[in-house]
Amino acid sequence: MKKLLFFLVICPFLLFGNDIEIPSKIKEVTVYLNSAQIRRSVNCNINAGITKIDFIGLSTKIDESSIQISGLQYVSILSMAYDIDYLVTPEVSPEINALTNNIEALEMEIALLKNTIIGLEEEELVITTNRAIGSRSKDLDLERVKQISTYYRQRITQIKNETFTTNLKINSLKADIRAHKNQLAELNNAPVKEHGKISITFDSPIPASLNLKISYAVQDAGWIPTYDIKSKKINAPLNLTYKAHVYQKTGVNWDKVKVVLSTGNPNINIAKPVIGSKYLNFVSGYKKRYMPTPKTQGYVHNPMVKQVMGIVTDESGVPLPGCNVTVEGATRGTTTDFDGQYSLNVAQGQELVFSYIGFHNKQMPIYSSIMNIRLDEDIAALEEVVLVGYGTSSRSYTTGALSSVVAERALQGKSAGVQIRGASSYRKVKSPAPKLPLYVVDGVPMEGFIDGDLDENEIQHIEVLKGQNTTAIYGSKGMNNVVLITTKKSKANDTMTSTEFDIKKPYSILSDGDITAIEINTHQLNATYEYFAAPILNENVFLTVMFNDWEQFNLLPGEANLYFEGGYAGKTTIDPYTTTKEMTVSLGIDPNITVTRKQDKNFKSKSFTGGTRILDRTYVLEVKNNKNIAINLKLMDRIPLSQNKEIKVDHIETYTAAYEQKKGLLTWTMKLNSQETKKETFSFQVKYPKYKRISL
Residue 622, C-beta contacts closer than 8 angstroms, at least 6 positions apart: 595, 596, 598, 677, 678, 679
153-170 burial, b at 16+ Cβ within 10 Å, e below that, comes to eeeeeebeeebeebeeeb
In sequence order, what DSSP letters do the residues of 384-415 get, joined into one string?
Answer: EEEEETTEEEEEE---S--TTHHHHHHHTTTS
For β-strands 558-564 and 221-231, DSSP reports them as parallel
Q: Is 565 left (phi over 0), alpha (psi -120 to 50) or beta?
A: left
Strand order across the beta sheet in which 238-248 lies: 516-525, 238-248, 221-231, 558-564, 567-574
| Total domain count, the chain | 3
How confident is the model at residue 387, as a pLDDT?
33
Kindly give the parts of the chain with pLDDT less than 50.
1, 4-17, 191-192, 285-295, 382-429, 490-496
In a domain, 468, yes or no: no
Burial class (CB in 10 A: 0-12, 13-18, 19+), 270: exposed
- Per the document, the length of the chain is 696
Strands 25-31 and 254-262: parallel
- If you ran DSSP here, which 8-state letter would residue 319 be given? B
Among the three residues 189, 210, 237, which one is the final residue of a domain in this structure?
A: 189
**Is 219 inside a domain boundary?**
no
Cα separation, 221 vs 34, whole angstroms:
6
Q: Of 159, 189, 219, which residue sits at a domain end?
A: 189
Among 158, 189, 220, give the residue marking a domain's end.
189
How many whole angstroms separate alpha carbon 453 and alpha carbon 528? Answer: 45
CATH at residue 329: 2.60.40.1120
Cα 238 vs. chain centroid, distance in angstroms?
24
Assess if residue 675 is contained within a domain: yes
- 113 inside domain: yes
pLDDT at 132 (0 to 100)? 59
Q: Which amino acid is at 548?
A: N
Distance CA 15, CA 35 (A): 38
Supply the pLDDT for residue 645: 85
> Strand runs (DSSP E) across 397-467, as ranges?
418-420, 426-428, 438-441, 444-446, 459-465
User: Is 672 domain-assigned?
Assistant: yes
Judge whether 322 and 353 are in contact, CB under 8 Å.
no
Query: Does residue 27 belong to any structural domain of this protein?
Result: no
Look at residue 654 and tell me if it is in a domain: yes
CATH number at residue 643: 2.60.40
Between CA 269 and CA 470 the distance in angstroms is 45
**What is the pLDDT, as a whole number, of residue 427?**
45
What number of other Cβ atoms are within 10 A of residue 264's Cβ?
Answer: 16
Q: Is 259 exposed, middle or buried (0-12, 13-18, 19+ CB in 10 A)?
A: buried
Give the domain range for residue 616.
593-689
* pLDDT for the residue 421: 39
User: What's residue 322's pLDDT?
Assistant: 92
